[in-house]
Structures are given as structure tokens and as C-alpha cells.
């Protein structure tokens, strides 16, 4: 027997007698289940590069209840993790250094208890738990997509469903004020239809606006009574669900909706774009965010990662598109965005309950902070600065200002700087600007 290794193929042992590969795997020592968490912890600390909880708390990073409590289930997937309650999530976020927590109403309150005594008791327990662990509640959101009552969306034909939707969003506003939140988010789920032609789109959108109006009007009264500012109401778009056509599929569609005249308080309503949701329809997230910034509606931001034109895989920030993420953060830093960065991702099904808090959350936070700091470095980079300034200065003005060819010639070599800037950004991302070279 001899070992043979070909580039690009996994290591195998060749049995020369029979020339049949035997997987090396069979020679590896199994890791007993009671040693696996310790192995994960040891390799996590071997990775290095972790920030301290104090450093992490300096950023407005918010941790959703539903992200940490996600059990790994989906349309074709059974859960792979056991349920965890808000006490554990809040405690673990505190240990990691995630300073803010947010939730859907029904992540923590059973639907049957909503608005009843049961809700009151749970909200008091949440408040106490947050205080005990030094966390704040940043945002509350209404679940208007999971329960069977929303089968035809929260803007269904049935007046009873719509009245219930208005009741639910108003109740969430009250929970938000009780917990000291600043934001309310609305992801309408499959607002649209499963059967084309079965609903009239303009009517559905008007009904949807009625629910948002109810929330805003209720908020104005509630805030006045409590002497608190009103919440910032943020709409979140997603272009497709496995089965439905969506009426407000993108942040741009939602900007149009906010300005449509259907809202009684459009000044109270902004956006919560989600990075992946914009990528899912094929958009450039940075351009989407730029449009939201120009409209002064970028108030809240769900951060995660994934692929273009695919499902809502909700991978953690920076695992798929770290370069694009650095560029997104350059845009946000240079425009002084100071809203929350909400970790709306799903720890993968392969990650255990231990791994959710030992790997998923701390690594997501640390990648975000690193990318944020690198974005700051890129904004200060003298090469990028000089190149950008030169592009903006442009070539000399030609004698005939209407001569297209002369204008082209006067800028010709300057335009190579676009590619040079892109190279420099990758150098910053990979740390190559510090002089790292690979030896061959
Ligand atoms: C689902 C959405 C969801 C929302 C949440 C907040 O795809 O991203 O997680 O962000 O319901 O309203
Ligand atoms: Mg989201
Ligand atoms: Mg998503």
C-alpha cells in the first residue's frame, strides 16, 4: 500500500493489489459525544480574533429571539435543535456581548394569551430578565404570517381577520412601549396571493395600509400617555415565499407604498431592509440602501447573507459575500447610519444548541465588527482617496465642450482607476495592503 495525493482530490489510500481506493475516514478516531462541545470550544478559541463582550456592546447590534430559538425546521426539514426560551436567549446574548434583544409577539407569548393576563405576566418576566442581564429591548414585531389565521394574509378579505390584524399590531405597540423599544418592524409574510386573480391587488394594499395606520394612530396616543417618543415603524420586504406571489416584494416597492397616500402617518413609517431579501430578487443591496438613504427611510437593517435568486437561506453575515458586506458598510458609515444592525440569520441545521451560542452568534458579531472596522479603514485609505478625488476632478475640459470624442480622450486613463479601486478594496478585505504575499 502507498499513499497517493492528487491535487483536487481527497486523500485516499490506494490498495495496490486490487487498485481500489479505501476511504481514509475509516482510520479516524471517533469523537465521543461528551467531548464534542469541548472540541468546538477549543477550536473556536484557536480561531482567535474574538472581540470582548465589552467591545461588542459598543455596536448597535441587536439579537432576535427567533434567530437564537430557531430549531432548524423548514418546509422539508424536521427540527434539529430543541426549543429555548427567552430567559436562556437573553442570558446567552448578555454573555456574548449582544446588548439589544428583539422579538415577535408570539415568539414569547402563545397566540391564545395575546392581550390577556398571560401576556402581561410574560412581559413582566421579560422586562425583569432584560434588566437582570443588562440588555435592552430594541424592537418588537407582530407575527402576521405563521398562524393559520393569516392564511389569506393580514390584509385578507374577511373583516374579522383585518380587525384582528389591527388589534395585534396595536397590542405589539403597547408591548414595545412597556419594554422600552424604539422600533416596530412589519414583515407581512406572504402579503399577496397563492391563486392569481383571486384577490384584487389595490384593495389588498389598501387593507394592508389600514393595519399600519391603526398601529401608528394607536402609537401616537400610547406615546402621549407614557410621555415617550413614538416608535419608528419599519416595513420589511421579501420578494418571494415558497408558494406565494408578493404584493410588496422589495424595499423600493415599499418606498412607493409609503409615499402612495394610503398611509395616514407616512412620516412615522420607514424601512427595515434585509440584506438577503434584496439579493434574492437580484438587486444590489448597496444600491437598495442608497435609495433608502436618499429617501431618509433607512431606519433599521436586518443583516445576514446568502445567494442571488435563491431562497431565504438566512446565512450569517459575511459568510458568503464578505467583499460586498464591506462595501455596504462603507456606504452606511459614510452616511452616518446609526440604526440597529439586526442579526436576522438562522444558525444552520448542522449547528447544535451548544453551537448556536458558542459559534453562530459570537462569530457573526465578530465578522460584522471586523467588516465595519475595515470599512472605516477603506474610507480612509489614501490610495482610494486619491483615486476617487482624481476621478471626480476629471480630465481637462476640451476646447469644444460638445465634442464627445475629445471628452472621452481627456478622461481615458483616469477611468482605469475604477478597477484599481476595486483591487485596492479586495486588498483591504484580504489584508494584502499590509504587505502579505504568498510564496509559491
Ligand atoms: C423573514 C423575515 C423575518 C422578519 C421578522 C421581523 O424572512 O426576515 O425574520 O425579519 O419577521 O419582522
Ligand atoms: Mg428579516
Ligand atoms: Mg430572511
As for ligand 1, residues whose beta carbon falls within 6 Å of it are: 141, 185, 187, 236, 238, 274, 302, 312, 344
Cell of 175: 408591548
CA dist., res. 342 & res. 53, Å (int):
17
Determine the atom of ligand 1 nearest the C-alpha atom of 142: 12
Q: Which residues of 167-196 are buried (b: 16+ CB within 10 A; e: fewer)?
A: bbbbbbbbbbbbbebbbbbbbbbbbbbeee
From first to last of its 440 residues, what are the pLDDT tens digits of the chain? 344 444 444 444 444 455 555 555 567 899 999 999 999 999 999 999 999 999 999 999 999 999 999 999 998 999 999 999 999 999 999 999 999 999 999 999 999 999 999 999 999 999 999 999 999 999 999 999 999 999 999 999 999 999 999 999 999 999 999 999 999 999 998 888 888 899 999 999 999 999 999 999 999 999 999 999 999 999 999 998 877 889 999 999 999 999 999 999 999 999 999 999 999 999 999 999 999 999 999 999 999 999 999 999 999 999 999 999 999 999 999 999 999 999 999 999 999 999 999 999 999 999 999 999 999 999 999 999 999 999 999 999 999 999 999 999 999 999 999 999 999 999 999 999 888 777 66
410 and 372 both lie in a single domain: no
Cα-to-centroid distance, 427 and ligand 2 (Å)? 31
What is the number of other CB atoms lying within 10 angstroms of the CB of residue 385?
Answer: 12
Lateral strand order in the sheet of 12-15: 2-4, 12-15, 20-23
- Do the domain assignments include residue 406? yes
262 and 394 both lie in a single domain: no
353 and 404 both lie in a single domain: no
Beta bridge partners of 298: 271
Cα-to-centroid distance, 238 and ligand 2 (Å)? 8
Determine the atom of ligand 1 nearest the C-alpha atom of 238: 7
153 and 122 both lie in a single domain: yes
pTM: 0.93
252 and 171 both lie in a single domain: yes
Domain of 411 in residue numbering reads as: 382-434
- Report the domain count for the chain: 2
Residue nearest to atom 12 of ligand 1 (CA): 187
Cα-to-centroid distance, 6 and ligand 1 (Å)? 45
With beta carbons less than 8 A apart as the criterion, state whether 212 and 269 touch: yes
Amino acid at each position: 500500500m502507498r499513499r497517493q495525493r492528487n491535487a483536487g482530490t481527497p486523500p485516499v489510500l490506494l490498495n495496490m493489489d486490487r487498485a481500489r481506493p479505501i476511504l481514509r475516514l475509516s482510520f479516524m478516531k471517533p469523537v465521543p459525544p461528551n467531548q464534542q462541545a469541548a472540541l468546538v470550544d477549543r477550536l473556536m478559541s484557536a480561531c482567535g480574533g474574538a472581540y470582548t463582550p465589552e467591545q461588542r456592546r459598543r455596536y448597535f447590534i441587536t439579537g432576535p429571539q427567533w434567530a437564537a430559538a430557531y430549531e432548524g425546521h423548514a418546509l422539508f426539514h424536521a427540527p434539529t435543535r430543541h426549543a429555548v426560551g427567552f430567559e436562556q436567549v437573553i442570558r446567552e446574548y448578555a454573555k456574548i456581548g449582544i446588548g439589544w434583544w428583539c422579538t415577535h409577539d408570539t415568539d414569547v407569548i402563545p397566540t391564545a394569551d395575546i392581550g390577556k393576563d398571560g401576556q402581561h405576566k410574560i412581559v413582566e418576566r421579560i422586562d425583569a430578565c432584560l434588566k437582570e442581564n443588562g440588555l435592552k429591548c430594541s424592537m418588537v414585531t407582530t407575527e402576521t404570517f405563521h398562524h393559520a389565521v393569516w392564511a389569506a394574509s393580514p390584509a385578507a378579505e374577511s373583516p374579522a381577520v383585518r380587525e384582528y390584524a389591527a388589534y395585534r399590531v396595536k397590542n405589539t405597540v403597547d408591548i414595545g412601549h412597556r419594554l422600552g423599544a424604539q422600533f416596530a418592524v412589519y414583515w407581512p409574510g406572504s402579503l399577496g396571493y397563492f391563486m392569481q386573480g383571486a384577490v384584487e391587488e389595490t384593495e389588498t394594499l389598501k387593507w394592508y395600509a389600514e393595519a399600519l395606520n391603526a398601529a401608528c394612530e394607536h402609537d401616537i396616543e400610547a406615546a402621549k400617555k407614557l410621555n415617550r417618543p413614538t416608535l419608528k415603524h419599519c416595513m420589511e420586504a421579501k420578494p418571494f415565499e415558497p408558494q406565494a406571489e408578493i404584493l410588496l416584494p422589495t424595499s423600493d416597492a415599499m418606498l412607493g407604498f409609503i409615499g402612495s397616500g394610503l398611509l395616514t402617518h407616512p412620516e412615522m413609517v420607514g424601512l427595515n431592509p434585509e440584506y438577503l431579501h434584496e439579493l434574492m430578487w437580484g438587486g444590489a443591496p448597496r444600491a437598495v440602501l442608497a435609495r433608502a438613504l436618499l429617501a431618509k427611510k433607512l431606519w433599521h437593517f436586518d443583516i445576514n447573507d446568502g445567494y442571488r435568486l435563491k431562497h431565504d437561506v438566512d446565512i450569517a453575515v459575511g459568510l458568503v459575500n464578505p467583499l460586498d458586506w464591506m462595501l455596504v458598510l462603507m456606504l452606511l458609515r459614510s452616511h452616518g447610519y446609526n440604526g440597529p444592525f439586526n442579526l436576522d440569520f438562522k444558525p444552520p441545521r448542522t449547528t447544535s444548541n451548544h453551537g448556536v451560542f458558542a459559534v453562530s452568534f459570537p462569530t457573526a458579531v465578530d465578522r460584522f465588527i471586523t467588516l465595519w472596522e475595515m470599512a472605516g479603514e477603506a474610507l480612509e485609505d489614501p490610495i482610494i482617496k486619491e483615486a476617487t478625488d482624481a476621478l471626480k476632478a476629471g480630465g481637462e475640459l476640451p476646447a469644444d465642450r460638445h465634442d464627445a470624442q475629445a471628452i472621452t480622450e481627456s478622461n481615458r486613463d483616469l477611468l482605469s482607476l475604477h478597477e484599481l479601486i476595486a483591487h485596492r478594496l479586495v486588498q483591504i478585505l484580504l489584508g494584502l495592503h499590509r504587505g502579505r504575499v504568498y510564496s509559491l
